[in-house]
Amino acid sequence: MGLKFTLKKREKDMNIGNVKIGKDFVIIAGPCAVESIEQLLNTALYVKACGAHLLRAMVFKPRTSPYSFQGLGIDGLKIVEEVREKIGMPVVTEVVDPRDVEQVCEVADVIQLGARNMQNYALLREVGRTSKPVILKRGLSATIEEWLNAAEYILSEGNENVILCERGIRTFITETRFTLDLSSVPILKKLTSLPVIVDPSHAAGASDLVKPLAKASKVVGSDGLIVEVHPDPQHALSDNKQQLNFDMFKQLMLELNELKC
């Protein structure tokens, strides 16, 4: 495969806030997109109280249509910064343009690269030149080998902190948005010492499937989850079918904690 870094044993720990990535089971939760200071702050307070470690706080949204809500952009970053400081919770935010990487890094604790950008090599390299932990989502039609090669782009630039995120692949299935490939988790855990988390929200595309898939993700040996939570999913500006409301998230956290595996 010609993989120089992803197959190497990691020496250093990857700690973000109080959580040891790859050792603790990390919970990243928050809205699909930042919509307002109230929305983000309320969600952050709630998910933190339930035990989430990191706040999902996206301001650049790669959307299929240019006419859909694209996120609040740079203005949104200020909201993220304010909430982050107010409640002392580390934040994950997505970057979609190599020209924004520097500015995003001033706020973000963790950078996310989305599925549609898994092979956006200019962006991968730019992020590889920072030292921020990077969540690298699996591309919609990426094999495990292609995914690890994408991680190599980041690692070979000097950034050792890549976290792989399974989020479902495109198949002929129409009952879910994507097909969550949970076998990728034990395969990756065997191949590489990079942490592997799962995004059950995007895979399912339906909030009632998030809990069983999240629990299954823990059981197959993943290192954590990234879950969409919104105070009022029905009125969300994006992904309104798959975001959990507060009660659903609380219930998910309860059941995850009880799950001994």
Q: Work out whether 247 is an interface residue with its own copies (CB under 8 A).
A: no
Cβ density class 148-177: b for 16+ within 10 Å, e for less = bbbbbbbbeeebbbbbbbbbbbeeeeeebb
User: Whole-number minimum distance, CB 237 to its own copies, in Å?
Assistant: 15
**Binder of its own copies out of 48, 62, 78, 81 (CB under 8 A):** 62
Smaller CB distance to its own copies: residue 41 or 140?
140
Q: Work out whether 185 is an interface residue with its own copies (CB under 8 A).
A: yes
User: Whole-number minimum distance, CB 164 to its own copies, in Å?
Assistant: 14
CA angle 165, 249, 13 (to 5 degrees): 40
Q: Work out whether 254 is an interface residue with its own copies (CB under 8 A).
A: no
Contact status, residue 191 vs residue 232, Cβ threshold 8 Å:
no
Smaller CB distance to its own copies: residue 36 or 171?
171
Smaller CB distance to its own copies: residue 91 or 155?
155
User: Whole-number minimum distance, CB 238 to its own copies, in Å?
Assistant: 14
Phi, psi of 52 (to 5 degrees): -65, 145
Strand 134-137 to 110-113 pairing: parallel
Question: How many other CB atoms are there within 10 angstroms of residue 258's CB atom?
Answer: 8
User: Whole-number minimum distance, CB 131 to its own copies, in Å?
Assistant: 18
Helix (H, G, I), strand (E, B) or coil at 198: strand
Count of residues that bind its own copies according to CB under 8 A: 65
Q: Return the H-helix or E-strand segment holding 196.
A: strand 196-198
Contact status, residue 29 vs residue 52, Cβ threshold 8 Å:
yes
**Binder of its own copies out of 93, 112, 117, 159 (CB under 8 A):** 117
Helix (H, G, I), strand (E, B) or coil at 20: strand
Binding site for its own copies (CB under 8 A): 2, 4, 62-67, 96-99, 116-117, 119-123, 140-141, 143-146, 149, 152-153, 156, 169-176, 179-187, 190, 203-204, 208-209, 212-213, 215-221, 255, 258-261
